[in-house]
Amino acid sequence: MKFNLFKETIPPLIGIDISSSAIKMVELSEDGRGGYKLEGYSTAPLAKDAMVDGNVGDLEKVADAMKLAWKLLGSREKRAALALPASAVISKKVLMAAGLREEDMEAQVEAEANQYIPFSLDEVNIDFQILGAAPNNADEVEVLIAASRKEKIEDRVAAAEGAGLKVTVMDVESYATEAAYSLVASQLPNSGAEQTVMIVDIGASMMHINVLHDNNSIYTREQTFGGGQLTQEIQRRFGLSLEEAEIAKRKGGLPESYETEVLQPFIQLLSMEVARALQFFTNASHYNRIDHIVLAGGCAAIPAIDVAVQDRTQVHTLVANPFHSMAINTKLKQQQATTDAPALLIACGLAMRGLTI
């Protein structure tokens, strides 16, 4: 059974990122000049334990948060693109004879999948995409095969359907990140060509590392660290509930001591974690340097976080803003969209799947 991980779809789509702490939605349209226009975006908090380790823990809570996010988005569009975490997907590049018919390639994909998937093929959904000619051999093509347990896909689809939405694309978070990164790369020298760029997406509980060389992914990794640690420290230090701490973190209004006693130590800790991730990469690969660091996720909205990371790592650092060259719906506040953009990288990459630009 295939799931349309790689298939182009009919526009438009709402990109929906299900993280551990929130549902994030982005809707894009074509701007008429070969670019994108940001029509709208929204974020709705997820109840604790609604998502557990990247899996749907409570279907109803996830559906309710999606329903709220869709309402806040104010869109009529109900078709959606969702993503699975990279940890839920087994992907492998294989070589096949060039010029195979689709059905012959499907049969070969299944045979290949049988060898490296530790489950019965009845339990998984498989898709594949031809990446291009094989290096050093014109008679072969390189094919990317991706497989995931059906239940992981079905749970996400069921949550979306519970919110009245229709899932037409199931992607992988790391691929969605790469798609949105293509909008950020234009801010780098030579649009990131021939350079090594580390995208660090820092969510509530997990730090996702994706390294690209010459705009192709060469390394992914996860580290347990996230903005949830800052929320917990605010909660502990100022005697607030978790919800109050989360609101105070975003909206302000905390005592003066917050900046020096809580926020600055967290920024230093975050910078150290990024430096550690960088060291892991250079130790694990034949690349001995990173040219640029791109920060994404909710933590990237912390003022001057890029300066702190750059000081610690001595690597040019910028905050991801996939909307920076987009036309923006006049109903949206431009400054707020810039602040929220780093947390919307995956949702933006998913929304891009509905447009053939």
> Could you read off the pLDDT of 224-252 as tens digits, one per residue?
999 999 999 999 999 998 888 888 888 88
Structure tokens at 56: 């749907």
* Angle between helix 228-238 and helix 242-251 axes, rounded to 10 deg: 110
> Could you read off the pLDDT of 120-130 as tens digits, one per residue?
888 888 888 88
SS3 262: helix
Q: Give residue 116's pLDDT.
A: 79
Q: Give residue 3's pLDDT.
A: 53
Q: Give residue 357's pLDDT.
A: 64
Q: Give residue 7's pLDDT.
A: 52
Distance in angstroms (rounded) separating the CA atoms of residues 339 and 336? 5
Question: Taking 50 as the threshold, does the pLDDT of residue 9 lie above it?
Answer: no
Q: Give residue 326's pLDDT.
A: 94
What amino acid is encoded at 185 in this protein? A
Span 249-275, average pLDDT: 93
For residue 206, give the nearest of 349, 19, 347 by alpha carbon.
19
What amino acid is encoded at 320 in this protein? A
CB distance 313 to 276 below 8 Å: no
Where on the phi/psi map is residue 239: left (φ > 0), alpha (ψ -120 to 50), or beta?
left
Candidate from 102-106, 184-188, 330-334, 335-339 with smallest mean pLDDT: 102-106
> Could you read off the pLDDT of 270-320 as tens digits, one per residue?
999 999 999 999 999 999 999 999 999 999 999 999 999 999 999 999 999
Span 326-330, average pLDDT: 93
Span 83-93, average pLDDT: 88
Percentage of the residues of the chain whose pLDDT score is greater than 70? 96
Q: Give residue 2's pLDDT.
A: 47
Cis preceding-peptide flag for 12 (omega within 30 of 0)? yes
Question: Taking 90 as the threshold, does the pLDDT of residue 63 lie above it?
Answer: yes
